[in-house]
Amino acid sequence: MGGKRRKNDDDSDVEESETAFSKRKKTVATEEKKDQLRPSMIKNKEKRSEVHAKLKHQKKLDKRAKAKARDAAVKKALELGEELPEKKVPRTIENTREFDETVCKPDDEELFAGNDADEFSSILNQQQTPKILITTCRFNSSRGPAFISELLSVIPNAHYYRRGTYDLKKIVEYAKNKDFTSIIVVHTNRREPDALLIIGVPNGPTAHFKLSKLVLRKDIKNHGTPTSHKPELVLNNFTTRLGSRIGRLIQSIFPQDPEFKGRRVVTFHNQRDFIFFRHHRYIFEKKEVKKAESKGKKDKDGKSDNVPEQKVIARLQECGPRFTLKLISLQNGTFDTKGGEYEWVHKAEMDTSRRRFFL
């Protein structure tokens, strides 16, 4: 009654298979751990560099093998007349950005209605010609005048006025009386321009930008000299409601009837809420390309010769300046530090995620 139960042969077989399976699982786990050994885990410097070089070389071989297999699949599909295999899109911060409800849609009627009634509609509909007043902060620097002179060559119908001791509110009133449409204030710190203030006249808004990575025309290698023609304006990646408003503010600075004869292009490219400014002129060049004749054909003297062929090649030449803008605040109305209402202000807690963008 109280004796031990004898083990059957079936039970012993099951136990043996379980122990064998657990041993095999342990060996696989140890092999995976060996494979996952990283160079940073090795303390010996020579061994660490050796393992790192091997891993790098193996990664390069794998990448090359994948590229060859992809090219072979594309070639086979073209020969058989089949559909090409889907091209893999790499994961970037831009295409994995956080969902934003304010991203503009092409059929957003509310946005179009707002654009027709905003402060820039008269300029963008060519009912009014842009007229820009450029000034500085009270304490100007050595590079400030050079930057302003290049801004005057970039923006048509722009006029420079010395700041002196005038308050910015008085300058806004003066600009209203003289029919200016925008004011640009170049702020400098430690002999370097570090901020731009763009004020729409007469009803605003006021945008405050941080300015960085300024490169003047003289410091750009093989730079070109721009003409006085009105430039084309290119705005990229201003996708949200805030971005659309900033894009229209920038657009209101330039005339809406570009002169293509001057071959000038001004670009404001938004990427990860940094606005990159570039100024180019495109050039058409004729180049002689030597093209060999077929083996059977010869010239009058009986000698085969290369026949020159002319091709028109287009390229871009940078004119400068080059700088980067970062939006700090957008204020409703003209400049008012005390009673002004802010539409948007950048705060430190907004930078908690790398995949959150506002423009």
Task: List CB contacts of 4: < 8 A, sequence separation 6 or more.
Answer: none
pLDDT tens sequence across 225-276 = 888 899 999 999 999 999 999 999 999 999 999 999 989 999 999 999 999 9
- State mean pLDDT over 172-196: 91
278-295 pLDDT per residue, tens: 999 989 888 887 765 555
**Cis ω before 321 (30° cut-off from 0):** yes
CA dihedral 255, 261, 263, 269 (to 10 degrees): 30
- Evaluate the omega torsion of the peptide bond into residue 205 and state whether it is cis, within 30 degrees of 0: yes
Other Cβ atoms less than 10 A from the Cβ of 175: the count is: 22
For residues 217 and 229, give the distance between their C-alpha atoms in angstroms, rounded to a whole number. 18
Report DSSP state, residue 261: G
**Strand partners of residue 277:** 268, 323
Instruction: Give the SS3 label for residue 249.
Output: helix
> Encoding tokens for residue 272?
């990860």
Residue 216 C-beta-side C-alpha neighbours within 13 Å: 12
Strand, coil or helix: 185: strand
**Residue 46 Cα distances to 39, 58, 275, 278, angstroms:** 10, 18, 45, 46
pTM (global) more than 0.85: no
Query: Which residues, in sequence order, are CB contacts of 302 under 8 Å at separation 6+?
Result: none
190: left (phi over 0), alpha (psi -120 to 50) or beta: left
Please, which pLDDT band fits residue 204 given cuts at 50, 70 and 90? confident
Instruction: Dump pLDDT digits (tens) for 215-235.
Output: 999 999 989 888 889 999 999
